[in-house]
Amino acid sequence: MRDLYRLIRPALMKIDAEQAHRLTLRLLNSPLAGLLGGDTAETPDLETTFLGIRLPNPIGLAAGFDKNAQVPDAMLRLGFGFVEIGTVTPRPQAGNPPPRIFRLVEDEAVINRIGFANEGADIVTRRLSERRAASRMGKIGINIGANKDSEDWVGDYVNGLQRFSGLGDYYTINISSPNTPGLRALQTRESLKPLMDALIATREHMSRVRKPPLLVKLAPDLSAPQLEDIAALALEHDIDGLIISNTTIGRPESLHSPHRSEAGGLSGAPLKALALETLQRMYRLTGGTVPLIGVGGISSGQDVYDRIRAGASVVQLYSALVYEGPGLVRRIKGELSALLKRDGFATVSDAVGKN
């Protein structure tokens, strides 16, 4: 599968990035999806539990690929342990004008300034409800955002949490996209505290059986004092988990692509070192007591292993799929299993935070 994808990749790279993504979603929703292969076979060493959720493996699909919950089961069949859909806002949103996705092929990176483009909570809720009625084959996270023109961002997040009640295995509060002006200001202690107060109060009325986990997705560009404030708030409020990290607004000098100066969030290989460093800091600041999802620049079993040893319980990826294709997940799982065995770890959880 990897060799086949590398043969056709040059042709795919000539197609507009957003158009290529739409074609991929159509393929995944068609009878031809089986041509992409699959990997539902799992091994006991990769099974893990995160936030009380049992997962067949720790490799998740990051938000952004399936914004509108069109293909969650298709992606699970490719071998992901869990899938996060979204970001979804209460009302439909067109996002920023195109072009708004740029492949930095020379750097194996992507810059996007999509701006929470999605079909809105009504349509996504319907799709997830239909999916839940038909299949419970895998675990789904729902990434919630605020409408760009909203006058009450806290209300938007509360609205999203209420609308998706019972449809997600966990919920991510996305306050770190660089493509909605002012949104990242919610990452300050003064803004994040009232937001989490409102969301936690809302969650108390969502389920009598199990309170769904709430995670906060952070930017990798936060300063040391900002990380310290968020760590303290996470511990005080019993925030269930943190996702580290979103895309970066930074531009490493190592970038070679002619698209390197485009505005938006940078993801992919150049984000790897910064995302890993931010993860390590947050693990130390929280004393390993707040579960972490590691994201950013992951494209191999070694990358996953590095995040796990740095403190991540599970990981997510997206940009690497652009360059490696659908066989990536199978390859990563094989590499990760070999690394665990080499170092004498019987399970993924045994290796968390060992660095």
Condensed to tens digits (0 to 9), the pLDDT of residues 104-155 reads: 999 999 999 999 999 999 999 999 999 865 555 689 999 999 999 999 999 9
| Domains in the chain: ranges and CATH | 2-351 (3.20.20.70)
DSSP of 27-49, one letter per residue? HHTSGGGGGG-------GGG-EE
User: Which residues are known to be catalytic?
Assistant: 177
Q: According to the model, what pLDDT value does residue 244 have?
A: 97
* Per-block mean pLDDT, blocks of 10 residues, the chain (355 long): 66 89 91 71 92 96 98 94 97 96 97 97 96 71 97 96 94 94 90 93 78 94 95 90 96 96 97 98 97 98 98 98 92 97 98 95
Q: According to the model, what pLDDT value does residue 330 have?
A: 94
Q: According to the model, what pLDDT value does residue 135 have?
A: 53
Q: Cβ distance 198 to 161 under 8 Å?
A: no
Q: Closest Cα to residue 43, out of 61, 60, 55?
A: 55
Q: What's the Rg (C-alpha) of the chain?
A: 19
Tell me the pLDDT tens digit for each residue of 5-37: 677 778 788 899 999 999 999 989 888 777 666
Cα(289)–Cα(283) distance, integer angstroms: 8
